[in-house]
Structure 1
Amino acid sequence: MNLNISITPGLLLGIMALAGIASYQFYKGRKLNLYLMDYYLRSIEEVVKPKDKDYVWLGGYIGFRAEYKVDEDNLRKFEYTLTLLPRQSILYFPISLLTSRHDKLYFVVKPYSKIKREAHLIQKGYYRFKPKIENEPLLQRDTVEVNGVEYEALFEKRRDLSLLQEFLKGFSRPSNVKHISLTPSTNVLYVFMKPEPETIGEDVGHIVRFTNEKLREGPFSS
């Protein structure tokens, strides 16, 4: 079979233009993602002040995972994972805006105090597939509103729900927070949120204060 494919000057020009745009987007997107990774890392470290730290590169320009040993006040370990949109890819970036929607930051905070009861606040309509919660059948349910955004609440005691609501309200932009929880089985505070460079220091400071003050003295640990 003979395939007679002719490349016209117009088609060649189009291919060259697309290659040029893709190259420009790659270097521009890579530079922005590297800047964001460096900025978030420095901003978080400045607040947490870890005594020891370890990083795992997630590959390419996607992000990284950090583990901090803090050993101060009520804060034993502070871990987080940053995943960024693929801004360097002109083809995949638009798709990721539909699937991932935004950059993501996952905090796992390990206090010295013992978390006695489980509680969750999950932004309604955010998850396409609801996260698995081990003891979900045993938890009470309610819907609460924080700054005009509805959250599904799962909890053992209502006073724990009130404290989580106050914690959520303390973020710079509560709507950026998609899921917060306290889990006795792993003894962790979990926060999943959309990060923003201009507010990251304020939000991390809020998480640290909550751990040092409310988790040590509040109803979660009694």
Structure 2
Amino acid sequence: CFTSCCRKLELYLYPYDVLRLKNSLGIQSAEFMHRHTRIASGSHPFFPAVMLNMRDNADRTCPFLGPEGCMVYKDRPSACRTYPLERAVEKRAGKHGMVVHYFMTHHDYCKGHLEQRQYTVEKWERDQFLHEYNLMNDCWAEVDAFFATNPWQGEGAAGPRQQLAFMVCYNLDEFRRYASRHNLLKLFRMDRDRRRRIERDDAELLRFGFNWLQFVLGDRPTLQPR
């Protein structure tokens, strides 16, 4: 990483990106969202997107860029890991399976293009530890495709249902408290090991949250009620 691309970014953050970054910084989801993000228009009109705020300086540098490089390198967002590739997932609501597309981008300021080592897509993803990110982002693509069907039942943008969905996706610490208050895990059939993982692991909680949203908002069989 030569840090040349860590400036003037229009960087979208997915739910798993926020999870990794807030844990890396040791702060709650709500604090991370307040300090480092802004709301923007998404790929469809029924759910907003989240973007990373740049610093208010001449170069509009990434807030996590330090003198020696990326300060959250181990937990940097998926877009940073994937670059110079771009990964697009085609998922249509109501249809099974996904189609993944890759695009190569080239910017003159990127010194990585001058390197001699060659990669296949598979090798690059292994090198950048993208497996878990891709799995979580594919889950998110399915949920976002579900949101594109406008499951808010006439409430419109920022109604109670959409606010609930936004909490699950981007304020995971609050969702954990919500799940505890409402005993959500006890409402569904799952083995003890899975329940324990959800209680202890943020990524497992996010997966559960994705399934729960589709169950409660769309009556989809993503969970088994008791």
Instruction: Please classify the TM superposition score into its range, dividing by the shorter chain length.
Output: under 0.3
TM-score where L is the length of structure 1: 0.23
TM-score where L is the length of structure 2: 0.23
| Higher radius of gyration, 1 or 2 | 1
Q: Which has the higher helix share?
A: 2
Q: Which has the higher strand share?
A: 1
